Amino acid sequence: MNNNSNNLNTTINISKVHYKQLKTLSKRFGVSNLQFINAAVNFLRTSGVNPLDKNIGAAEQFKRLEKRNDEILRFFRVFESQKLQPILDNLIITQRMLDEKTSDIPTCKDIKDIEANMNRDFKNGVEYIHKGQASNHNYLKKIDKILNDILQKQEQHQKLIENLFSTINKSDNRENINQSLFNRF
């Protein structure tokens, strides 16, 4: 036997008319009188409906709930338009700016192509010298021009690479920026 006082049942006095209504309602819902009474008390407790307030019926209670739901929906609409939409608009603008600024960053393939061109140009200059054609003054001018071109390209490439690493250090790379922005949504 359980000694827990919460599980003990008690009796209540109700009129014969209400007892008959209780039996009818319990039967209609397929529950015992005790289950129906317990459910009714829980409903009144959680809904906040005052059964003694004769001026307010169920329809009026539903109108109040509907009004409260409308107030909540209005709040969310205002919050969305005044707070969330400006944030989304700023994110879209930021995404476009980042795309624009990172579009000029050379990719790994670009850097490999630059390196291959530099190696090819340097190899051509060395082969030119080794062929013995350097003794001719015209050939020396051509070699000098090739070497100057190589130096200019190396300086340009060095600036590009420094720019690249500076940009990468500042903003990570374009793929990671785009991916991180998409992950936020």
| Spatial contact of 128 and 143, defined as CB atoms under 8 Å apart | yes
DSSP-assigned states of every residue in 85-107: HHHHHHHHHHHHHHHHHHTTSPP
User: What's the pLDDT score for residue 101?
Assistant: 76
154's CB contacts (< 8 A; 6+ apart) are 118
pLDDT 10s per residue in the chain (185 long)?
445 556 778 888 999 999 999 999 999 999 999 999 999 899 888 877 777 776 666 677 778 788 888 999 999 899 888 888 888 888 888 888 887 877 777 777 777 787 787 777 777 766 665 565 545 556 667 767 777 777 787 777 777 777 766 666 665 545 555 555 455 44
118's CB contacts (< 8 A; 6+ apart) are 150, 153, 154, 157
Strand boundaries in the chain, DSSP class E: none
- Which two three-digit tokens encode residue 36? 């129906």
CA 152, 157, 158: angle at the middle one, nearest 5?
Answer: 95
36's CB contacts (< 8 A; 6+ apart) are 22, 25, 26, 29
Helix (H) or strand (E) holding 149: helix 137-171
Q: What is the dihedral of CA 79, 83, 86, 90, to 10 degrees?
A: -140
| Spatial contact of 57 and 50, defined as CB atoms under 8 Å apart | no
Q: Global pTM?
A: 0.32
36-66 residue pLDDT tens: 999 989 988 887 777 777 666 667 777 878 8
For the four alpha carbons of 23, 28, 30 and 35, in that order, the dihedral sign comes to negative
Q: How far apart are CA 60 and CA 47, in angstroms?
A: 13
